[in-house]
Structure formats: structure tokens, C-alpha cells
């Protein structure tokens, strides 16, 4: 009855497999610098005398998402341990995001919804993914842009995962 577990994930092409594995491969810093200088966004955040780096801003947003998950998990009875565990697994991915951004950043806990639910989490994930895409476009460092694209992808993918839990 059990389907063959496909222990070896399909390698669609050798080239494709290799390319996909090269995600943390060498960063073409020179190429990146020379490619499109005039189009590089100038990452100025208003006239703030002490501009917050995108990492710290996003790290704070990640911290808020973590608090949001904690709040929702707290509302669930022990009996719903499967849902709690699944939410905790998604929460931990935000911990990984925050760490990848260097940690730091204080969450604005006032921004948490009054009655946090899986639905409010889902909305927060959608908004977070869009925000990461904006930060990605504004990033002056290609590595940061790559990291933010990954985080945007992860957060967008949490939405269908949350739908299964609702």
C-alpha cells in the first residue's frame, strides 16, 4: 500500500541538480558590482541620521513573527499537540531566518494582533514575504539579496502549510 518512498529525489538533469546544489556557491561579487551600477538602489531610508541596516529591521520583524507563533501556540490546548508541534516547526524556521540576518532587532510587540490565531499568522506570513521581497530589491549586498529571496520564499510557503492546520 505504501508508495515507493522515492528515497532518491528525482534528479531532473545533472546540470539542474548541480546548479541547484550550488546555492551557497561562490558569489560573483565582481560580476555583481560591474553589472548594473546605475540601477543599484541607493538604500537610503529617509533622512534618518542613523539608518537601520535592512538586516536589523528584518531581524526585528522575524522576532515579531516568532512572538506571534508563540502567542498562537499558547492559545491551543495540549490535546492539539500535532498542531502545536507543526506551528513550533514553522516558528523555528523564523529563528533560522533571524539568525541568518545576524540576529538583533527588537520586536515591536505592540504590533501583535489582539487575538492571535492561525489566520492572523497566515496574514502575517503573507505580509512578511512581500516585505522581504521589497528588502531584497533594496539590498545593496548581493548576499543579503539572496538570503532575503530565500526568506521570502520560505515565508510565502508557510501560507499553504498554515492552511492545512486551520
Partner 1 sequence: MTPTEAWSAVVAGEDAAIYAYSVAGGRVSGGDRRRALSGLEAHRRRRSRAAAIVTAAGGTPPAGSPAYELPDNVDRARAARRVMADVDVALVPLYADAAAMSTAEDRRWAARCAADSATSAVAWGQEPQAFPTPRT
DSSP state of 153: H
Residue 123 near partner 1 by CB under 8 A: no
Minimum Å gap between C-beta 147 and partner 1 is 8
Residue 40 near partner 1 by CB under 8 A: yes
Among the listed residues 43, 45, 137, 166, the single contact to partner 1 using CB under 8 A: 137
Give the torsion sign (CA, 110, 115, 116, 118). negative
Residue 88 near partner 1 by CB under 8 A: no
CA 105 to chain centroid, in Å, comes to 15
Residue 132 near partner 1 by CB under 8 A: yes
Residue 136 near partner 1 by CB under 8 A: yes
Residue 71 near partner 1 by CB under 8 A: no
Q: For residues 78 and 90, what is the distance between their CA atoms, to the nearest angstrom?
A: 18
Among the listed residues 97, 101, 118, 121, the single contact to partner 1 using CB under 8 A: 97
143's grid cell = 548576499
Q: For residues 161 and 144, what is the distance between their CA atoms, to the nearest angstrom?
A: 26
Torsion of CA 160, 162, 164, 165, to 10 degrees: 180
Q: For residues 29 and 142, what is the distance between their CA atoms, to the nearest angstrom?
A: 8
* Site of interaction with partner 1 (CB under 8 A): 3-4, 6, 8-13, 15-17, 19-23, 25-28, 31-32, 35-36, 39-41, 89-90, 92-94, 96-97, 100, 129, 132-133, 136-137, 142-143, 145-146, 148-161
Amino acid at each position: 500500500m505504501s508508495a515507493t518512498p522515492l528515497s532518491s529525489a528525482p534528479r531532473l538533469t545533472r546540470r539542474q541538480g548541480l546548479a541547484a546544489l550550488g546555492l551557497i556557491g561562490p558569489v560573483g561579487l565582481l560580476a555583481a558590482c560591474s553589472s548594473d551600477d546605475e540601477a543599484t538602489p541607493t538604500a537610503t531610508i529617509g533622512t534618518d541620521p542613523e539608518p537601520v541596516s535592512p538586516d536589523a529591521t528584518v531581524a526585528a520583524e522575524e522576532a515579531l513573527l516568532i512572538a506571534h507563533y508563540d502567542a498562537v501556540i499558547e492559545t491551543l490546548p495540549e490535546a492539539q499537540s500535532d498542531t502545536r508541534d507543526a506551528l513550533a516547526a514553522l516558528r523555528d524556521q523564523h529563528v533560522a531566518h533571524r539568525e541568518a540576518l545576524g540576529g538583533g532587532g527588537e520586536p515591536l510587540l505592540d504590533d501583535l494582533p489582539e487575538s492571535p490565531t492561525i489566520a492572523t499568522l497566515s496574514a502575517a506570513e503573507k505580509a512578511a514575504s512581500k516585505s522581504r521581497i521589497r528588502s531584497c530589491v533594496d539590498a545593496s549586498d548581493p548576499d543579503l539579496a539572496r538570503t532575503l529571496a530565500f526568506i521570502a520564499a520560505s515565508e510565502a510557503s508557510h501560507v499553504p502549510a498554515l492552511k492545512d492546520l486551520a
